[in-house]
Chains A and B, each alone.
Chain A
Amino acid sequence: MAAGSTYTPIATTTLASAAASYTFSSIPSTYTDLVLVTNFGADTATYARCRINGDTGSNYSETSVGGNGSLAQSFRDSNVSNGAYITYNGYAGTNAGSAMYTLNFNNYSNTTTYKTILTREAAAASSAGATVSLWRSTAAINSIMLYMNSGNFAIGSTFTLYGIAAA
Chain B
Amino acid sequence: MANTFELITSTTVGAGGASSIDFTSIASTYTDLLIKLSTRQTGSAVGYQFGIRFNGSSSGYSRILLYGDGVAANAGSGSAETFARIAFTQSSTYTANTFNNVELYIPNYAGSAYKSFSTDGVSEGNATQIYSAGIYAGLWSNTAAITSISISEYSGSGTNFAQYSTAYLYGVKNA
Contact = CB atoms under 8 A, between A and B. Distances in A.
Interface of A: 1-9, 12, 37-39, 41, 65-73, 93, 95-100, 102, 120-130, 156, 158, 160, 162
Interface in B55-74: 62-67, 72-74
Contact of B1 (A5, A66, A160): A5
Interface in B109-151: 111-120, 135-139, 141
B59 to A, nearest CB: 15
Given A9-B174, A127-B64, A39 B116 contact: yes
Interface residues of B, number: 45
Contact of B135 (A3, A8, A39, A128): A128
Nearest to B31: A160
For the complex of A and B, the 5 pairs showing the least CB-CB separation, nearest first, are A97-B113, A67-B66, A67-B75, A69-B77, A122-B118
Nearest to B108: A39
Given A120-B118, A125-B139, A156-B113, A8 B4 contact: yes
A64 B173 CA distance: 30
Given A12-B174, A70-B77, A124 B111 contact: no
Of B66, B105, B115, B117, chain A has the most CB atoms within 10 Å of the CB of B66
Specify the main secondary structure of chain A where it touches its partner: strand
B164 to A, nearest CB: 22
Specify the main secondary structure of chain B where it touches its partner: strand
Nearest to A95: B114
Nearest to B138: A124
Contact of A37 (B6, B32, B67, B75): B32
Contacts of B65: 67, 128
B102 interface: no
A158 B113 CA distance: 11
A65 B174 contact: no
A122 B6 CA distance: 23
9 contacts: A1-B5, A4-B1, A39-B107, A39-B116, A67-B74, A72-B72, A98-B139, A100-B116, A121-B137
Given A4-B3, A39-B107, A127-B137, A97 B66 contact: no
Contact of B175 (A12, A68, A72, A127): A12
Contacts of B34: 1
A2 B5 contact: yes
Contacts of B175: 9, 12
A48 to B, nearest CB: 14
A13 to B, nearest CB: 10
Contact of B5 (A7, A100, A102, A160): A7
Nearest to B72: A72
A100 B115 CA distance: 9
B76 interface: yes
B172 interface: yes
Given A3-B5, A102-B105, A129-B66, A123 B113 contact: no
Contact of B137 (A4, A8, A124): A124
Contact of A72 (B2, B3, B74, B174): B74
